[in-house]
Amino acid sequence: MKKHFIFDVDDTITNSYEFNQQMFVDTFDKYIDIKHYEVDLYLRDLHFKSRGTAMHLQFDEAILHFGLKLNPHVLVKENEDLHIKNIDKIEIFDAVSDIIKTLNKEGRIVSVCTNRQYGSLNKIMENNGLSQYLNYVVSCTDEGHEKPDPFCLDMIINKSGSKKEDCIYFGDSQTDYQFATNAGIEFIIVDHYLNQKKFYKMILQSFM
């Protein structure tokens, strides 16, 4: 039985795909005409195919495509500012809170490990009443080791004193699969949109 449950955030515990995509598009608003059909389509397609990829790499690809003279890390900061400004629009999936509270009550260690930056990450946890039930909350981006570099997973596991065989990581992308594999821990990759956004509710009703 697993003792340490580690969760990704976006599209794993938060129903945030459409929100994140819109914020990605809106970040370019002052640089190009995002209302132009082909521009909007390109940015949305890029965001879709890049799920799980570090944000500065996504922005860098768009910068090259449009021939812009911009620093991708500046766009990352502007994107994070947009997220914080609109953070109340992000919702967690049904039953996420119940799952995390149940695990905490049972004495399991519950952590969050994501590429999302601390500013918006902490606000999401606070807004949804999850902070008090989490043992570790880590932003791989702000720690300087973005997924799939296993540094942050290893850090959480070492700090908690957990054995790797007692840990499991929940994610939603190929990057999350690589992340957990690189750290040498088991994982579950969930596509909430194929599960009608009811994955945690079904787990709660069936097993807890």
Quick: pLDDT tens for 15-39.
999 999 999 999 999 999 999 999 9
* pLDDT value of residue 121: 98
Task: Tell me the pLDDT of the chain averaged across its residues.
Answer: 94
The last residue of a domain, from among 47, 70, 88: 88
Strands (E), the chain: 4-7, 14-15, 91-92, 109-114, 136-139, 167-171, 186-189
194 burial via Cβ count (<10 Å: 0-12, 13-18, 19+): exposed
* pLDDT for position 1: 87
Q: What pLDDT sits at residue 193? A: 73
Please give the average per-residue pLDDT across 65-87, as a whole number.
97
Is the predicted pLDDT of residue 70 greater than 90, yes or no?
yes
Do residues 99 and 149 both lie within one domain?
yes
pLDDT at 31: 97
Residues 78 and 98 in one domain: no
* pLDDT value of position 191: 84
Residues 21, 73 share a domain: yes
Shared-domain flag, residues 46 and 141: no
pLDDT exceeds cutoff 90 at 204: no
Residue 34 and residue 11 in contact, taking contact as beta carbons nearer than 8 Å: no
Are residues 76 and 178 both part of a single domain?
no
Whether 194 and 108 map to the same domain: the answer is yes
Cα 5–Cα 8–Cα 10 angle in degrees, nearest 5: 145
Print the domain residue range for 76.
16-88
For residues 175 and 53, is the Cβ–Cβ distance under 8 A? yes
**pLDDT of the residue at 116:** 96
Give the tens place of pLDDT for each residue, 111-170. Answer: 999 999 999 999 999 999 999 999 999 999 999 999 999 999 999 999 999 999 999 999
Looking at residue 84, its pLDDT comes to 97
User: Residue 203: is its pLDDT beyond 70?
Assistant: yes
Q: Where residue 200 falls among pLDDT bands split at 50, 70, 90? A: confident
CATH number at residue 98: 3.40.50.1000
Q: Are 51 and 112 part of one and the same domain?
A: no
25 and 116 part of one domain: no
82 and 113 part of one domain: no
Residues 79 and 103 in one domain: no
- Lateral strand order in the sheet of 109-114: 136-139, 109-114, 4-7, 167-171, 186-189
Query: In total, how many domains does the chain have?
Result: 2
Domain end point (choices 45, 73, 88)? 88
Please identify, among 37, 59, 88, the residue that sits at the C-terminal boundary of a domain.
Answer: 88
Q: pLDDT band at 208, cuts 50/70/90?
A: low
pLDDT band at 207 (very low <50, low <70, confident <90, very high): low
Percent of the chain scored above 70 by pLDDT? 96
31 contact partners, CB below 8 Å, separation of at least 6 = 66, 68, 70
Shared domain for 64 and 131, answered yes or no, is: no
What distance lies between CA 104 and its chain's CA centroid?
21
User: 71 and 168: one domain?
Assistant: no
